[in-house]
Amino acid sequence: MNRTVLITGASSGIGQACALVLAKEGYRLALCARRTERLEALKNEILQDLPETEIYTFTLDVRDADAVQQAMTALPEAWQQIDVLINNAGLSQGLDPIQSGKLSDWDTMIDTNIKGLLYVSRAVIPLMESSKNAHIINIGSIAGKEVYPNGNVYCATKHAVDALNKAMRIDLLEKGIRVSAIHPGMVETEFSEVRFHGDTDRAKAVYKGVDALSGQDIAEVIAFVLSRRAHININDLLIMPTAQATGTIVNRK
Ligand code: NDP
Ligand code: 8X3
C-alpha cells in the first residue's frame, strides 16, 4: 500500500503545497485544519488531476487536546496507520516588542506552535508504530535558529519546535521512526496576513521586491527528505530565499 501522510494545517500555504506535491508522489492524504471548506476544495482539485488519490479530510483545531485525541481515535479503519506526520500547522500573531506584546497573541502562538504540535504528535505517534517506514517532519523556521527584533514569542515557539524535533529523534530512536525538521526562511503564504491580523497591505510589503520561497519550494524539499532510503535521516534543513541572508537581512530589488 502507498504511504499515508497526515498533514496539519493543509488548508493553506506550505501544508496545502505538501498535499499537492505528495499526491503526485502517490501518497494517501489525511488532511486537517480548521477551515474544512478549504480542505474540500483542495481535495476536489487533487482528484481532478489525480482521481486515484485516496484523501481523508477532517476538521481540527490543534490547540484542543481532547479534539485532537478524538479525531485520531475516530480515524476510519483504513486510515489508522500513519506513515508520515507533517507537523505544519502554525502561525505568528503580531510583531511587537516584548514590553507591549498582546497576551492573546502570545497564547495563540504558544498554544498552536508548541502545545498543538505536542498534542498531535502524542496522538499520532502510536498510529505510526506499525509502519515500516515512519517519518515525522516538523516545520520549524529561521525563527527557530535566530531571534530578530520583535520576533520574541514567535521565535521562542520555533526554538521550542527545534528542541522538540531533537527530543523526538532521541525518544523515537528505538522505534525506528525518522524525525526531520525543515526550517524555512521567507515563504510567501498567508503567514504575514495572519501575523498582521488581516492587514493585507502590511503583509504584502513583507514580500515586496523579494523573490521569496513558495509553499511548493518547501514541499518539494520535504518530498526529497521523505524519499531517502530507510537508513538515511536528514535531521535538519534551513532553507532560505537566495535574497535573504538572515531573518531580517534581505536584498530587496
Ligand atoms: P499559512 O497561514 O498559509 O498556513 C498556516 C496553516 O496552519 C493553515 O492551514 C491553518 O489552517 C493552519 N493552522 C493555524 N492554526 C491552526 C490551528 N489552531 N489548528 C489547525 N490548523 C491551524 O502559513 P504557512 O503555510 O506559511 O505556515 C505553515 C507553517 O510554516 C507554520 O508552522 C509557520 O510557522 C511555518 N513557517 C512559515 C514561514 C513563512 O515565511 N511563511 C517561514 C518559516 C516557517 P486553518 O486556519 O484553516 O486552521
Ligand atoms: C516565518 C519566517 O522570518 O517571519 O517563520 O520568522 S520569519
Ligand nearest to the CA of 110: 1
Ligand 1 pocket (Cβ < 6 Å) reads 8-9, 11-15, 33-35, 38, 60-63, 88-91, 112, 116, 139, 141, 184, 186-187, 189-191, 194, 215
Mean pLDDT of 145-170: 98
Q: Supply the CATH classification number for the domain 4-239.
A: 3.40.50.720
Q: Taking residues 28-53, what's their average pLDDT?
A: 98
For range 72-89, the mean pLDDT: 98
The number of beta carbons lying within 10 Å of the beta carbon of residue 62 is 27
Using CB atoms within 10 Å of the CB of residue 97, give its burial: 0 to 12 exposed, 13 to 18 middle, 19+ buried: exposed
Measured CA to CA, the distance from residue 198 to residue 98 in angstroms comes to 21
Whole-angstrom CA distances from 213 to 6, 54, 56, 197, 216 are 23, 28, 28, 22, 8
Across the range 128-139, mean pLDDT stands at 98
What residues does each domain of the chain span? 4-239
- pTM of the prediction? 0.99
Sign of CA dihedral 189, 247, 155, 124: positive
Q: What's the mean pLDDT when you consider all of the chain?
A: 98
Given 27, 56, 119, 154, the catalytic residue = 154
CA distance 105 to 214: 25
Residue 1 has pLDDT above 90, yes or no: no
169 confidence band (pLDDT: 50, 70, 90): very high
Average pLDDT over residues 42-51: 98
Residues with CB under 6 A from ligand 2: 141-143, 151, 186, 191, 247
% the chain with pLDDT above 70: 100
The rounded distance, in Å, linking the Cα atoms of 76 and 53 is 16
- Span 146-153, mean pLDDT? 98
Residue 135 pLDDT > 80? yes
Distance from C-alpha of 40 to C-alpha of 88, rounded to nearest angstrom: 18
ipTM: 0.99
